[in-house]
Amino acid sequence: MVLRTSRDGCWDIKDSFWGRYLAPAVDPLADTVITDEQLEGFEIRADVPKIPTALWQRWIALCFEFCGKSNRELEVSCRLLRKTDDPSVYRILVPVQKVSMASVRVDTFDKAIDIVTGETVQQYPPPGWTPCGSSHSHNTMDAFFSGTDDKYELGDPGLHIVVGQINKQLGTFKLAVSITANLRRFLIEPADVLELSDVVPDVTFHPNVLTAVSFPSAPGYTTALSTPLSYNSPWPTTDHYDSFPSTYSSRRVDLAPVQDYVNEFNAATQRLIDAARAVQLDPAEVLRQMSWDLDDQAYEASSDPLLADPFWYSV
């Protein structure tokens, strides 16, 4: 006798010498063959409302804002929502977040700024709006979904988009676009969900969103050239930006256990200086720019990395 369950498939009672137990069974009423291609595929609905250009370009403008402003290339993240009673209306919220060169951490979506109006949202999701996905920037790096992205997006069904390969000089970027469902990711084309019409002039993000994004403070050390950090600072010191502490510590650590790697690092640095000189780049400027990257890496490697799970529970 085959037992047919609503969610757990078909089972048969097996009799053995020792007793009886349940074992998986073939469904005798099976009437469909599913191919691997069908199982792995995704067919996007032709009538899916597309995110309008005027909204999307505000988000792209924010990605550009945090990419390569002077010497720093930072990620940034947003949440996508749709109006519950009119799914064709999209909304982009920029939650309060900590960003670095290679990561974003959002402790709660309950503090977020509307990218169009600058309105502050205190409860997520806001009444009348349904979460439908997210997007984040990979700045100048490739547009793809990383392992960290998978960890947080596969279980968050909806539209997830990475903006990468940003080139501020050319004004170009690349997108990786996906739908997540059933704890899986399906790659789709940008044109499937985005209106890719001409850019609307003078439309950009509301300046209030800048208050939601904080990033590592300037490196807390000086270079071998003793250049003051305040000199030609790559970041504006306006009230728009906040920062969180650098990983700088005045403690000296014993590098002896990793001396070989330190030597390799110094040798590579010397090769970088030589290479810079060979192409008429100022080695001091190159090293100063590298110091930002080092500071980001130091923060990522610290005991409180941005990538730690920010999960919390609230009633």
Partner 1 sequence: MALFNFSRPSSNNGESQVIRLLINDESVEVSMAEAQGKTVSELFQQFAGSIADVSRINRYVAQGRIVAGSTPVEAGTVYSGAVASESKGY
Contact positions vs partner 1 (CB under 8 A): 3, 5-7, 13, 20, 22, 75, 77, 82, 101-110, 124-125, 127, 130-134, 136, 138, 141, 146-149, 151-152, 154-158, 181-183, 306-315
User: Nearer Cβ to partner 1, position 157 or 283?
Assistant: 157
**Torsion angle of the four alpha carbons 137, 143, 148, 152, in this order, in degrees rounded to the nearest 10:** 70
**Cβ of residue 286: shortest distance to partner 1, in angstroms?**
22
**Cβ of residue 3: shortest distance to partner 1, in angstroms?**
6
What phi, psi does 299 have (nearest 5°)?
-70, -40
User: Nearer Cβ to partner 1, position 55 or 102?
Assistant: 102
User: Nearer Cβ to partner 1, position 144 or 221?
Assistant: 144
Contact (Cβ atoms closer than 8 angstroms) between residue 56 and residue 194: yes
**Cβ of residue 47: shortest distance to partner 1, in angstroms?**
14
Element (H, E) at 129: strand 129-137
Can you say whether residue 118 is alpha, beta or left, with left for phi > 0 and alpha for psi between -120 and 50 degrees?
left
SS3 string, 4-54, reads ECCCCCEEEEEECCCCEEEEECCCCCCCCCCCHHHHHCCCCCCCCCCECHH
Element (H, E) at 81: strand 77-83
User: Nearer Cβ to partner 1, position 58 or 138?
Assistant: 138
Coil, strand or helix at 181: strand
**Cβ of residue 151: shortest distance to partner 1, in angstroms?**
8
User: Nearer Cβ to partner 1, position 82 or 288?
Assistant: 82
User: Nearer Cβ to partner 1, position 227 or 297?
Assistant: 297
**Cβ of residue 153: shortest distance to partner 1, in angstroms?**
8
- Residues 6 or more apart whose Cβ sits within 8 Å of residue 115: 55, 58, 59, 62, 78, 92, 93, 94, 205, 206, 209
**Cβ of residue 174: shortest distance to partner 1, in angstroms?**
14
